[in-house]
Amino acid sequence: MPEPVIALEAVCRQFPADPPVHALAKVDLRVEPSDYLAIAGPSGSGKSTLLNILGLLDTPTSGSYRLDGIETTTLRDGGRTKLRGSRIGFVFQSFHLLSHRSVVENVMLAEVYGRHERRTRKERALRALDQVGMSHRVDFLPDRLSGGERQRCAIARALMGTPSLLLCDEPTGNLDSRNTAAVLDLFDDLRAQGLTIVVITHEDEVGARADRRVRITDGLLTEE
Amino acid sequence: MHLRDLLNEALAGMLARPVRSALTTLGTVLGITTLVITLGIAATAGNQIVGRFDELTATSITVEVPETKTPLVDWNAYTELTRLRGVTSAAAVAENKASSNLTVRSNRIVDPTRVTDQTLTVIAATPGLPEAAKGRMTQGRFFDAGHVERKDRVVVLGDQAAKLLGVTRLDEAPAVFIAGRAYTVIGVLGELRRDRSLGTAVIVPPSIGKLFGLRDVTRVLINTSLGAAELIAGQAPTALSPGNGDMLQVIAPPSPTRARDGVQDDVNGLFLILGLVSLVVGAVGIANVTLVTVMERVAEIGLRRSLGAARRHIAAQFLLESTLIGLTGGVIGACLGVVAVVAVSAAKQWTPVLDGQLALAAPVAGAVVGLLAGLYPSLRAARMEPVDALR
């Protein structure tokens, strides 16, 4: 049996306060390759903390988190940064595109850090843009794109490094229903191509499209 | 991370807000311009002043010979000097206290309306004196080796002396009486550019000078070609008096480099401080703007961290951005400075003098200013936690 992409075991995260805030309490979660998982929950439920831990942006107070079989809780800052750059593709609610760089330059940014062949970088960026159906907007600046196009551009950037995990934080939060549908269709396509996707959302419509849904309330995870 | 990528990202970051970057460079531009102008003008002006003395002072050497029982310098020794490379002309002169107060008159007629007796200095000199004193025979001629050899009773008057004695024309072969004896005036020496005191002197050949107690050489005038003065000043005593060179006193022009340094020190001090102050102000400006930029680009920093940028990558990018801003300021400042120096030189009809190293060092100085100014902001950017930056 192949290693799970994500394996959380008894992960806790406390924030120092008086009394301490238990944002996550003994969370266990397994995500197998080419799973499509939606994490839902109201605000303040620990969603963002979970996302930060999954994205290696934050470390758990206790417990173990293995990504592709690599234990991440013992890694230092540099090691986690490397792992994050090579294995995780982030998709943000607010897209985070650099406004003064063209679409293709924004996508190419994904390979600036880490070891990649420089000469073929543009080819790979164009292929990623093709994958999300954005080949006709390659040289546009982001502020001339619609919200859905911007998010597809951001997804292309996330796909650029061929990550094992696509981690999406409210990917449709800033989109209207038509663009939301387009992005969700895209996720279905990517899923079909074998990509592992974790979506954090509070929208039921988004959650309904995933194979698995987990709900987080007060730091506790329940599978639906 | 590839170096070219780093440069690319830093350039893009700088060019994303071109107007802001341009304004940020302004402080560095002013500082570097001031420095280049200050150093350039000082070098140019210093060179002008030195250039002016070069013609006369920097090529004139005088050797003073102390009076001793046995003559230190032979009357013919100056011919040894002219064999040295770099000596353009030389002449030996004798002058002492007794000879400086001799009564000279131009005729024996007693004219109560005029003062006919003049107290003038009589000096003995070798035939090369007009060239050595950088003068010109305004009338007649100077005596030559033949006059000296034959002990002809001839004199040459300095132009002032001739005027005092009332000698205006030489075609009647006028005579002057020194200590009661007559001598024929064969020339008038004037337009002296060196040793102007010769203008009021009565100059006699060495063989005649002995009659007035001018036995030994007391002074040797030497002219050198440009740049040879220092060398000749070292060689002249030995050439003149092989055994007793140490006893001769050589008066040589100050070496040109020292003159130049002296001039620069005066001009530079204040303006250098001014330039440095502008540079510091420029650095503070860059630091401020970079700090603001870092705060504005928190989301971008978060994104880069999520894409796998390590802290040092973030620090390097902002550091390079501020360095590039400083470098741009330095390049523009150096250009403006050089143009200003050339413009001032053109207006004053000077030859612009600029150290090539200075023109190269100025942009480097700008870059260093930018680098130092970027240290704190880029550390702030690198220390940011990705979780906070993405919030």
pLDDT tens for each residue of A128-148? 999 999 999 999 999 999 999
Q: Measure the CA–CA gap between B131 and B146, rounded to whole angstroms.
A: 18
pLDDT of residue B137 exceeding 70, the answer is yes
Alpha carbon of B146 to those of B76, B127, B149, B174, B384: distances in Å?
Answer: 14, 10, 5, 20, 98
Question: B9 to chain A: which residues are within 8 Å by CB?
Answer: 112
Contact A77 B9 (CB under 8 A): no
Q: Is A77 an 8 Å CB contact of chain B? A: yes
Q: Measure the CA–CA gap between B133 and A189, rounded to whole angstroms.
A: 103
Residue of A nearest to B305 (CA): A81
Q: Measure the CA–CA gap between B193 and A20, rounded to whole angstroms.
A: 97
Task: Indicate whether B250 and B261 sit together in one domain.
Answer: no
Percentage, residues of chain B above pLDDT 70: 92
Contact A118 B299 (CB under 8 A): no
Contact B16 A100 (CB under 8 A): yes
**What domain range is B66 assigned to?**
56-254
pLDDT of residue B258 exceeding 80, the answer is no
The dihedrals phi and psi of B345, each to the nearest 5 degrees, come to -60, -40
The predicted pLDDT at position A115 comes to: 82
How close, in Å, is residue A188 to chain B by CA atoms? 24
Q: Is B189 an 8 Å CB contact of chain A? A: no
How close, in Å, is residue B388 to chain A by CA atoms? 9
How close, in Å, is residue A46 to chain B by CA atoms? 14
Q: Is A15 an 8 Å CB contact of chain B? A: no
Burial string for B360-381 (b: 16+ CB within 10 Å, else e) reads ebbbebbbbbbbbbbeebbebb
Which one is predicted more confidently, A32 or B70?
Answer: A32
Q: Give yes or no for a contact between A93 and A171, defined as CB atoms under 8 angstroms apart.
A: yes
The predicted pLDDT at position A136 comes to: 93
- Across the interface, of A84, A99, A105, the residue whose CB is closest to B308 is A84
Report, as an integer, the average pLDDT of B84-110: 83
Alpha carbon of A68 to those of A15, A72, A94, A171: distances in Å?
Answer: 27, 10, 28, 23
pLDDT of residue B222 exceeding 60, the answer is yes
pLDDT of residue A67 exceeding 90, the answer is yes
The predicted pLDDT at position A87 comes to: 92
| Count of residues in chain B | 391
The predicted pLDDT at position B53 comes to: 57
Residue of A nearest to B16 (CA): A100
pLDDT of residue B337 exceeding 80, the answer is yes
Task: Indicate whether B206 and B313 sit together in one domain.
Answer: no
Which one is predicted more confidently, B343 or B98?
Answer: B343
Residue of A nearest to B313 (CA): A113
pLDDT of residue B145 exceeding 60, the answer is yes
How close, in Å, is residue A68 to chain B by CA atoms? 17
Contact B303 A96 (CB under 8 A): yes
Locate B220 and state its tokens. Answer: 């040797």
The mean pLDDT of chain B is 86
How close, in Å, is residue B390 to chain A by CA atoms? 9
Identify which of A39-53, A97-111, B27-41 has the greatest average pLDDT. Answer: A97-111
The predicted pLDDT at position B348 comes to: 83
The mean pLDDT of chain A is 91
Contact A113 B303 (CB under 8 A): no
Task: Indicate whether B261 and B245 sit together in one domain.
Answer: no
Contact A94 B299 (CB under 8 A): yes
The predicted pLDDT at position B41 comes to: 83
Alpha carbon of B187 to those of A178, B135, B162: distances in Å?
Answer: 115, 12, 10
Report, as an integer, the average pLDDT of B318-342: 94
Dihedral sign computed on CA atoms, order A216, A217, A220, A222: negative
Model confidence at B327, pLDDT cuts 50, 70, 90, reads: very high
- Across the interface, of B8, B300, B311, the residue whose CB is closest to A98 is B300
Task: Indicate whether B40 and B145 sit together in one domain.
Answer: no
Model confidence at B260, pLDDT cuts 50, 70, 90, reads: low
Report, as an integer, the average pLDDT of A196-223: 90
The predicted pLDDT at position A18 comes to: 85
Q: Measure the CA–CA gap between A189 and B163, rounded to whole angstroms.
A: 117
pLDDT of residue A91 exceeding 80, the answer is yes
pLDDT of residue B113 exceeding 80, the answer is no
Which one is predicted more confidently, B274 or A99?
Answer: A99
| Collapsed DSSP state (helix, strand, coil) of residue B249 | strand
How close, in Å, is residue B326 to chain A by CA atoms? 22
Report, as an integer, the average pLDDT of B224-244: 86
Residue of A nearest to B389 (CA): A57
How close, in Å, is residue B370 to chain A by CA atoms? 23
Q: Measure the CA–CA gap between A202 and A180, rounded to whole angstroms.
A: 13
The predicted pLDDT at position A17 comes to: 86
pLDDT of residue B250 exceeding 70, the answer is yes
Provide the chain B residues 7-46 that lie in CB contact (below 8 A) with chain A: 8-9, 12, 15-16
Task: Indicate whether B235 and B90 sit together in one domain.
Answer: yes
Model confidence at B81, pLDDT cuts 50, 70, 90, reads: confident
Among B217, B233, B254, the domain boundary falls at B254
A:B CB pairs within 8 Å: 72
Sequence spans of domains, chain A: 6-223
Task: Indicate whether B383 and B346 sit together in one domain.
Answer: yes
Model confidence at B108, pLDDT cuts 50, 70, 90, reads: low
Instruction: Give the number of domains in chain B.
Output: 2
Model confidence at B54, pLDDT cuts 50, 70, 90, reads: low
Task: Indicate whether B8 and B64 sit together in one domain.
Answer: no
Model confidence at B166, pLDDT cuts 50, 70, 90, reads: confident
Give the fold, CATH level 3, of A6-223.
Rossmann fold (3.40.50)
Q: What is the pLDDT of residues B171-192, one digit of tens each?
A: 888 888 888 888 999 999 998 8
Task: Indicate whether B136 and B177 sit together in one domain.
Answer: yes
Task: Indicate whether B100 and B195 sit together in one domain.
Answer: yes
Q: Is A174 an 8 Å CB contact of chain B? A: no
The predicted pLDDT at position A122 comes to: 93
Report, as an integer, the average pLDDT of A82-88: 92
Q: Is A96 an 8 Å CB contact of chain B? A: yes
Contact B306 A52 (CB under 8 A): no
Task: Indicate whether B34 and B74 sit together in one domain.
Answer: no
Task: Indicate whether B212 and B291 sit together in one domain.
Answer: no
pLDDT of residue A204 exceeding 60, the answer is yes
Q: Measure the CA–CA gap between B290 and B283, rounded to whole angstroms.
A: 10
Q: What is the pLDDT of residues A144-173, one digit of tens each?
A: 999 999 999 999 999 998 899 999 999 998
Q: What is the 3-state secondary structure (H, E, C) of chain A?
A: CCCCCEEEEEEEEEECCCCCEEEEEEEEEEECCCCEEEEECCCCCCHHHHHHHHCCCCCCCEEEEEECCEECCCCCHHHHHHHHHHHEEEECCCCCCCCCCCHHHHHHHHHCCCCCCCCCHHHHHHHHHHHCCCHHHCCCCHHHCCHHHHHHHHHHHHHHCCCCEEEEECCCCCCCHHHHHHHHHHHHHHHHCCCEEEEEECCHHHHHHCCEEEEEECCEEEEC
Task: Indicate whether B250 and B266 sit together in one domain.
Answer: no
pLDDT of residue B50 exceeding 60, the answer is no
Q: What is the ipTM of this complex?
A: 0.94
Among B234, B254, B274, the domain boundary falls at B254
